[in-house]
Structure 1
Amino acid sequence: MKNDLLLRAARGKATERAPVWVMRQAGRYLPEFRKVREKHSFFEICRTPELATEVTLQPIDRYDGLLDAAIIFSDILVVPQAMGLQVEMVPGHGPQILEPLITPKDLERLKKHVNVYEELQYAFDAITMTRHALEGRVPLIGFVGGPWTLMSYMVEGSGNKTWSRVKTWIFKYPEASHVVLQKITDVCVDFLVGQALAGAQLLQVFESLGGELAPQDFDKFALPYLIQLADRVKMRLGPDADVPMVVFAKGSWFALEALSKGGLYDVIGVDWTVSAAYAKAATQGRVTLQGNLDPSVLLGGEEAIVAETERMVREFYSEGRRYIANLGHGIMEMASVEALEVFLKTVHRASARAGEEKMAAAGGA
């Protein structure tokens, strides 16, 4: 591995600078990605290993030496697809599940048993192909959506502002909700294990809608499944696998302490609404923190990008370890490739000196 900064940071080791990658770094802000999309549908790219590999490598090639990880090009909704639901990417509206779950009776439409090696083999093939293509330049990240987030899409059908249908489910059909969440968790466990065996070197769980739940409801309908997910994946992979796991529960500041306990997740992603001081106090050095620049900063011009990125690095990376720089959510489609380059270069520059000083003081421990 030519660049193992990310893996060292995830394992809590000191790093000479903060590693950096960006959620949705292979995506619509890149002109080369838009070119591929002119010829192929979104899910066609996901299901074609050669195309998924090409797109995954695009930001690595463009920002050569600036990104410290690749994340496989896929989508969290491939899991509902594997479970029997039909998902389409609607231009201008995003992903849409054509026949969402309306009542518990609709659970009969879900497959009783999902063999991920039949339904999602294309994802494993893409990971293996991408690992070979990377030639050790940077680690490769695999991922799934969190169970609560996936259930939300399966019930709502698409993203919206209130998520009222799925919230109605947890209050009106609590038992059925737990059945759905358990089914999703079972598939996600198999999918993550398969990704690791295919070559993914770090696994991230995107519980992007965690903040839609009240703290007490998160504790019932999100947290138990996130804990179960990490526990079962690590148990299946075994102690020698050493594949770090990340959880990003956007908006769930109240769950940082709980998610950081038990040694299940090695890294916790935080969004821009959480201060470094709060995140550090809540997690007490038990995990590596990842994040958390507001993606909108990349639209604000070079001066703002530099200032905000330097502040972020200064606050999160003061100890020279336990930090991975990232945005607080996915990069926006309207962000420029130049703006992202400024962000990446600023992370390198701002964190290098602090990292070198801390490495020297710690003797490289």
Structure 2
Amino acid sequence: MKTSEAERRQAVQDIRSSEDILIEVLRNSRDAGATRIFVATGKEGPRRCLQVIDDGAGIPAAMHQRVFEPRVTSKLESAHLDKWGMHGRGMALYSIAVNSQLAEITVSQPQMGTSLRVVTDTAVLGEKVDQSAFPMFEKQESGAYSMRGPKNLLRTAAEFALEHRGQVEVYLGSPAEVCATLYAYGLAAASPSERAFGRPEERPYVERLGFCADSGDFARVASQIGLEVSERTARRVMDGEVPPLPSLLTRLQSESFASKEKRPVSRAFRRDARRLKLESEDLAMLAQKAREAYRELAPRYFLNEEVEPSVAYGPQAITITIPIEKML
């Protein structure tokens, strides 16, 4: 038997479901040094799409196609055994390509991260029927907890997040939800001045949506990293109507233990992430600081320094307005 045929047969054995593909991609991102992994997933008929975006080391353009060849990415010192078996042999992406309709690097550069797309036909490569159930923890007689529930995409990603807690944060949801999460992350990762005057192309892919000024720009940048959303959806994200996802570890902590005190994490997360409430003294402090800064600046431009700044805030921004009154 030729080596290539043997490798192909092994690839078919290695990947038997959508869940197998997801765990291999997550392991690849981990091995690339990613600390955050965002998984956008959707299904149309039998067609399952996984878009995985990470902040790992990235892949040079010359390697974008070659990484799907057998053993191209293998390194003897990187091969290791983890909870899911041997990894680092350079066969994971090849196995995914053999078992999918499409496997491609959407975009990747060194130090910028990677966005990878995999499309499968679930009539050929199966997956768990129930993809909505979130795993639960069940207490055993010994006092230990074990995870229960269908071994679907959610559970696969949640088990990975739990195994790598403190090392990697994992988020999984629809393309719109992942866009909202990346937008919130991008806003938090850069200061207002950086977003206004910085060069988004010099930032990692996971931060770039935070630099978008309008819905058209948002939809364009999202498409570049593999997330296809309409301008209307982009506008809803920017207006805070689509809340960002909590990490899967946060969801496990909040949703997976039977408790009368348990509350849905999404509500708390939405409050924390979207409903900013500034105290009146803090608003006054911001206005005072703006007033002091403007009084130093105004004489240089022959402007009235006695104007009163106003401070307003919303889900996405704090706005300080200073009226201009010319002295000449």
Please tell me the TM-score bracket, short chain as reference.
under 0.3
Q: Which has the higher contact order (CA 8 A, sep 6+)?
A: 1
What is the TM-score when the length of structure 2 is the normalising length? 0.27
1 or 2, which has the higher strand percentage?
2
What is the TM-score when the length of structure 1 is the normalising length? 0.25
1 or 2, which has the higher helix percentage?
1
